[in-house]
Amino acid sequence: MSKFSHIDNEGSPSMVDVSSKEKTQRTAVAKTTVLLSKKILKELKDNEIITKKGSVFQIAKIAGIMAVKKTSELIPLCHPLSINNCSVDIKLSDRNEVIIICTVNLKGKTGVEMEALTGATIAALTIYDMCKSISHKIVIKETVLLEKTGGKSNIIK
């Protein structure tokens, strides 16, 4: 038997069968950290950066939510899910890092970790895309799952 959930006993890719699982309330929270150059940070006013393309953080929030809804189209073998709620919060830390927190929940048979991770990552990529005209000195530092609840294993960091 394979140790990986998406590999069957013959070693072939396989979607996980969740048909016999009960629906439970499930939540996942992911965080992505983005480092912006001083040149970009000089453009920050009232916790927002306005470029020719628009309000960077507001558009990144929308992109993150849209990505959550499209996760099964982006990641092979990921189940399409009916998301009940999603939020993307973007703040500047004390160390001038952009912190993106994506929270996703639903009542379903499978978790929403991939959706939360995808939402946070796409929000970060949107910030990169919108700020690259000012400077390419942007680092998408890390994406990490902070919390997962509602399945057979819970994770809280």
| Structural contact between residues 115 and 72, judged by C-beta atoms closer than 8 angstroms | no
Q: Give me the half-sphere count of Cα atoms (radius 13 Å) on the Cβ side of residue 121.
A: 15
Chain Cα centroid distance, residue 75: 13
1 vs 34: CA distance, rounded Å: 39
Q: Give me the half-sphere count of Cα atoms (radius 13 Å) on the Cβ side of residue 100.
A: 35
Parallel, antiparallel, or unpaired for β 24-36 and 44-45? Answer: unpaired
Active site residue 17: no
Catalytic residues: 129
